[in-house]
């Protein structure tokens, strides 16, 4: 059959049809590769037929790409041949030379850039419909696709890694997914991020320091002990003898009601109501401690250092607050250690925990070193000053107000903006005595 005898209108119609086919293959390739795999698996679990077909085809990407590229190249080369004939029929030899240029521009616009852009913007809408055509076509072209895959796989085999990654995400990658892909879940996004952060936070980061623990000294008078129990805002109280390193047990205040009903009771009766203290190392990650609390059926643990000395306590509620946030709408207002001043600065107790300050004031004081504000200041001063001093650490201007017993009792801190801070004085080692 002489192709030159075919009417030009028919040839132009075939070119239009091949543009549509090329656009289908180009867009399908982009859409299949741009599919969100986790959303796709979710749709598969929900029984979406298109998602099941797409997921099955993505299991063998070499076959998927093979059928798409075979179809796309077959269409493109056929279009190039037909375009050459059309050019010859219309303007002779000059048309033969111009046809590839005109066809390239037309195909780039209508069969490559436009469909791929649309498919990249809406990969699910495109791919989950396109697979109904692509899957039967894959069966028809299977012999050709298999031959091509055998040859291409042999060529790339030396360059492939020995083991194939299984699509697992690291913690940091999962955080990125949560931060960028979970904006529609609101507060739950923050909770998911905090859960992922539990692995990088240890119990000594959130524990109540030993100096701030409310506890019962069994050496005190029984009346004093019961007055302290009645005034306590906590449900669980450690009971110690002589000093806090000698903890005898943990008392649940609900059990004390049994003693109140009796006319006379002794300290021994009180001690019988305590349970054995539960100790945990200070370097235990929070996610591990959360499971340990569940396993041991405990809600309070004594935190010890490497020498076995008690450093503080951590409770189940402390860890839950790291996930859901503080159980109050205005955390700063409920921290007596922080007193806002009219000039925008804050008077803060030296024993306030840095993490609590950051959470209350939305600051970013470093928490990888000392846990308290006093320790933070003394670390930067590298000495215990005899008089009050001023220093600047990054964007924070700090002035000590009271130094006693080798501890900074209270300080004034003001966070400066970038415009206020003098770059010549922003060095953390820059310290000026007042």
* 432, pLDDT greater than 70: no
pLDDT tier at 421 (50, 70, 90 boundaries)? Answer: low
| Separation of alpha carbons 31 and 64, rounded Å | 12
Taking CA 329 as the corner, what is the angle to CA 326 and CA 335, rounded to the nearest 5 degrees? 65
Are 214 and 232 in contact by the 8 Å Cβ rule? The answer is: yes
Residue 134: the pLDDT is: 92
Residue 163: the pLDDT is: 58
| Separation of alpha carbons 202 and 96, rounded Å | 74
Residue 27: the pLDDT is: 94
Q: Cα-flanking dihedrals φ and ψ of residue 249, to 5°?
A: 175, 180
Question: In this structure, are strands 279-281 and 300-304 parallel, antiparallel, or unpaired?
Answer: parallel
Phi-psi group of 167: left, alpha or beta (phi > 0 → left; psi -120 to 50 → alpha; rest → beta): left
Residue 32: the pLDDT is: 94
Q: pLDDT tens-digit profile of 105-150?
A: 999 999 999 999 999 999 999 999 999 999 999 999 899 988 988 8
β-pair partners for 307: none
Q: Is 99 helix (H, G, I), strand (E, B) or coil?
A: helix
CA distance between the termini of the chain? 102
Domains and CATH numbers, the chain: 3-159 (no CATH), 170-200 (no CATH), 203-324 (3.10.580.10), 332-433 (3.30.465.10)
β-pair partners for 237: 251
Q: pLDDT tens-digit profile of 197-242?
A: 788 888 988 888 887 888 999 999 888 888 888 888 888 999 999 8
Token pair belonging to 163: 């083991």
Half-sphere exposure of residue 208, counting CA atoms within 13 Å on the CB side?
A: 18
Q: Give DSSP secondary structure letters for 59-70.
A: TTHHHHHHHHHH
Residue 97: the pLDDT is: 87
Q: pLDDT tens-digit profile of 374-384?
A: 999 999 998 88
| Separation of alpha carbons 409 and 400, rounded Å | 8
| Separation of alpha carbons 168 and 32, rounded Å | 20
CB atoms within 10 A of CB 238: 22
Are 84 and 99 in contact by the 8 Å Cβ rule? The answer is: yes
| Separation of alpha carbons 9 and 17, rounded Å | 12
Residue 331: the pLDDT is: 47
Which residue in this structure is represented by tokens 């995400």? Answer: 169
Picking from 108, 100, 60, the residue whose alpha carbon sits closest to that of residue 83 is: 100
Q: Which stretches within 92-186 are classed as H helix?
A: 93-107, 114-121, 123-140, 142-156, 171-181
- DSSP class of residue 232? -
Higher pLDDT, 285 or 90: 285
Are 335 and 341 in contact by the 8 Å Cβ rule? The answer is: no
């Amino acid at each position: 059959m002489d192709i030159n005898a075919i009417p030009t209108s028919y040839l132009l119609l075939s070119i239009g049809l091949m543009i549509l086919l090329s656009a289908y293959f180009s867009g399908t390739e982009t859409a299949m590769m741009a599919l969100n795999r986790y959303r796709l698996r979710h749709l598969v679990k929900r029984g979406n037929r298109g998602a099941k077909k797409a997921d099955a085809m993505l299991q063998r990407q070499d076959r998927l790409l093979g059928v798409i590229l075979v179809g796309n190249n077959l269409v493109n080369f056929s279009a190039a041949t037909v375009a050459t004939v059309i050019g010859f029929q219309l303007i002779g030899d000059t048309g033969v030379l111009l046809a590839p240029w005109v066809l390239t521009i037309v195909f780039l616009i209508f069969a490559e850039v436009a469909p791929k852009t649309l498919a990249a913007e809406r990969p699910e809408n495109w791919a989950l419909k396109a697979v109904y055509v692509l899957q039967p076509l894959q069966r028809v072209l299977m012999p050709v696709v298999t031959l091509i895959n055998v040859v291409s796989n042999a060529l790339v085999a030396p360059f492939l890694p020995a083991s194939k990654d299984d699509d697992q995400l690291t913690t940091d990658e999962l955080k990125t997914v949560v931060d960028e892909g979970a904006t529609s879940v609101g507060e739950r996004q923050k909770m998911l991020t905090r859960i992922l952060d539990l692995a990088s936070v240890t119990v000594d980061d959130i524990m109540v320091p030993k100096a701030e623990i409310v506890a019962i000294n069994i050496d005190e008078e029984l009346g004093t002990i019961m007055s302290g129990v009645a005034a306590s805002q906590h449900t669980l109280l450690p009971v110690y003898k002589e000093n806090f390193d000698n903890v005898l047990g943990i008392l649940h205040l609900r059990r004390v009601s049994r003693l109140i009903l009796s006319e006379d009771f002794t300290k021994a009766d009180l001690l019988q109501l305590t349970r054995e203290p539960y100790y945990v190392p200070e370097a235990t990650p929070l996610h591990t401690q959360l499971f340990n609390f569940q396993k041991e059926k405990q809600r309070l643990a004594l935190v010890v250092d490497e020498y076995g000395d008690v450093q503080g306590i951590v409770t189940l509620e402390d860890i839950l607050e790291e996930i859901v946030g503080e159980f109050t709408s205005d955390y700063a207002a409920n921290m007596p250690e922080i007193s806002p001043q009219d000039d925008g600065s804050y008077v803060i107790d030296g024993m306030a925990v840095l993490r609590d300050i950051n959470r209350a004031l939305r600051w970013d004081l470093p928490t990888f070193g000392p846990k308290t504000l006093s320790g933070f200041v003394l670390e930067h001063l590298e000495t215990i000053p005899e008089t009050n001093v001023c220093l600047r650490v990054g964007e924070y201007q700090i002035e000590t107000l009271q130094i006693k017993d080798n501890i900074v009792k209270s300080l004034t801190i003001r966070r400066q903006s970038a415009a206020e801070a003098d770059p010549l004085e922003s060095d953390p080692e820059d310290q000026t005595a007042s």
